[in-house]
Amino acid sequence: MTETPIILRGGPIFDGTRLLEGYELELTHGAISALRPVTAGCAEVDLGGDILMPGFVDLQVNGGGGLLFNEAQTVSALKTIAAAHRSLGTATILPTLITDRREVSRAAIKAAREAIAQGVAGIGGLHLEGPHLSVARKGAHDPDLIRPMDSDDLAAYCEAARTLPALMMTVAPETTTAEQVAALASAGAVVSLGHTDADYETCMRYQKAGARCVTHLFNAMSQLGNRSPGVVGATLDNAEFFAGLIADGHHVHPASIRAALRAKQGTERIFLVTDAMSPAGTDQHRFELNNRTILRENGILTLENGTLAGADLDLASAIRVMQQETDLPLVDILAMATRIPADLMGIEGGRLSVGRPAVLTLLSANFMRATPVDLA
């Protein structure tokens, strides 16, 4: 028996590149069968003026659903974390392990590989944020666990890059060499500079070696000075650098966001991340990370000494901040939460394409909430 197509209409449709008015999306057997101007149609689903779009893509997710990846490197934990973010509109995540012991990093690689082999929905690869960072720019990372990258580390990471769909590595030049970065990039990893006091010249040298990205721009890095441009200056000056941005209104001042957007105008190199921790999708108010207590209050996560420790953020809220605080067209903001991060990592998602499975998110017209579209 032929399945009757389902047609969704009644609101703007973002396909990853265009924000379309007066269009409809047709689904057949769970896949996109047409994206076209509104017709007479059948089996209509009214969007009620909300925005239909691809599920969000988030490249920096430390946890969710009450779990932290650092505390549980298992397929079960990844299912819980991915499901929590799917409830917030995110279709694909890079589960992110922050600085930890060598065996924990190996366990994280193993868990990500197994989750992908089992087809766990939402796991796009892996992000290892540390332990090869700068103690001077440690942020909430445990300084006792930060260390230089050695040959065994490099071999394990290169193997992971070759066997995972996507691997992002956040490293600092203080604890990695340009040759190691080149080897990681050659193996297929996306190397991102972060938690570093590196100067402008060093950043440029590492970019030439293969670093393509900067982790949470403006946070935990050397700042833009008149004679020392630092990591921020290198990122804004070099059109090749991508940069993740935590747009929660706390991590980065809106004026700094606007300045970065103007500097990178037209490059499509800035994307949104949540840096979410275990409270994502829950009412959790405190949790433990590497035996340290993190508090959640007024939309901010901090260690007990006040140091920011990840973010209490979802991508719908980040889009709302960007829409309120910048003059960037909405179509470009939506791309920062979908197509741009997906393209950086070379993973599926971020677009509505005919013939592809429909993994859809409905973003409210006031940007206050995002929900998965489930037509089963």
Half-sphere exposure of 289 (CA within 13 A, CB side): 31
Backbone torsions φ then ψ of 79, nearest 5 degrees: -60, -45
Q: Are 158 and 128 in contact (CB under 8 A)?
A: no
How far is residue 248's CA from residue 48's CA, in Å, rounded to a whole number? 27
Task: Please say if 144 is a catalytic residue.
Answer: no
Q: Are 7 and 35 in contact (CB under 8 A)?
A: no
Q: For the chain, how big is the Rg over CA atoms in Å?
A: 20
Length of the chain measured in residues: 376
Q: Are 73 and 67 in contact (CB under 8 A)?
A: no
Choosing from 15, 275, 312, 314, which is the catalytic residue?
Answer: 275
How far is residue 192's CA from residue 244's CA, in Å, rounded to a whole number? 9
Q: Are 84 and 64 in contact (CB under 8 A)?
A: yes
Catalytic residues: 275
